[in-house]
Amino acid sequence: MAPTSTPQTPFGRVLTAMVTPFTADGALDLPGAQRLAAHLVDAGNDGLVVNGTTGESPTTSDAEKEQLVRAVLEAVGDRAFVVAGVGTNDTRHSVELARQAQAAGAHGLLAVTPYYSKPPQEGLYRHFTTVADATGLPVMLYDIPGRSAVPVETETLVRLAEHPRIVANKDAKGDLASASWVLARTDMVYYSGEDMLNLPLLSIGAVGVVSVVGHLVSAELRAMIDAFTAGDVAKAREIHQRLLPVYTGIFRTQGVILTKAALGLQGLPAGPLRLPLIEADEAQIAQLRQDLSAGGVEL
């Protein structure tokens, strides 16, 4: 049975964009994925996003993506939302992945802006609505022009919000003005997709986070969100400032690289990365230790 969803928090408040553990020889580590998923939910996550960028989705096969969704659902699907990343820059392929995720039992879909091909806004609108029409699952958009090259413009987001299954946006655009207008004009729910902006986005109406640093500080993120929603802005700000070294540290290079390094330091499943991503070197790991220690993370 899926966890309880509400229109205000369709996927909960604290979600982690989960890495995909691999074995030493680079194969999918399904037992490790289940152990990591259980650890993250025990740490306070309402949901997990699998097969996203942090899950190295560009380098996993469709079959591996399905196996991962099924494994994580088996481990935590009765107590956390499992949202499957289905984003590609090929609408037909995204539709196939969406239907595969629904068949596997996913609770929702994450659809990133098509990258590299730089479609116009009407192309983005048609892409997202076609994916949303392909299944009965709720869809979270993922607006991240730093990776996709094209932002989803405010008017496009307002149009997309009219679709009955496009219920949320993972915002990593860094444009608080656009987010403010979409929140003011629609019922679309916002989740912060950029850890450094978690608190600023909450301040304009976001309900939660889809976090990378959630691998390490889920309890702190929940405490910050709880404090803010309870009206204790000073406490929320104090937690935000305490986490700044973690936010900075994990993203000194590509986030998956240092997240997997941190998980390895904690003895949690992570394993190697698939090219073109590479493992952190000794200097990066030494700096990571300093950053995490400064942010209160025990290794």
Q: Annotated binding site for pyruvate, which residues?
A: 54, 210
Q: Are 113 and 152 in contact, with CB atoms under 8 Å apart?
A: yes
Contacts 24+ apart (CB under 8 A), 89-92: 89/114, 89/115, 89/116, 89/117, 90/114, 91/126, 91/127, 91/130, 91/131
Binding residue ranges: 54, 210
Pairing mode, if any, of strands 47-50 and 166-171? unpaired
142 is catalytic: yes
170 is catalytic: yes
Q: How many CB atoms lie within 10 A of CB 32?
A: 20
Rg (CA), the chain: 18
Instruction: Tell me the C-alpha distance between 137 and 106, whole Å.
Output: 8
Catalytic residue among 170, 173, 191, 260: 170
Catalytic residue among 65, 115, 125, 142: 142
Instruction: Tell me the C-alpha distance between 264 and 276, whole Å.
Output: 20
Catalytic residues: 142, 170
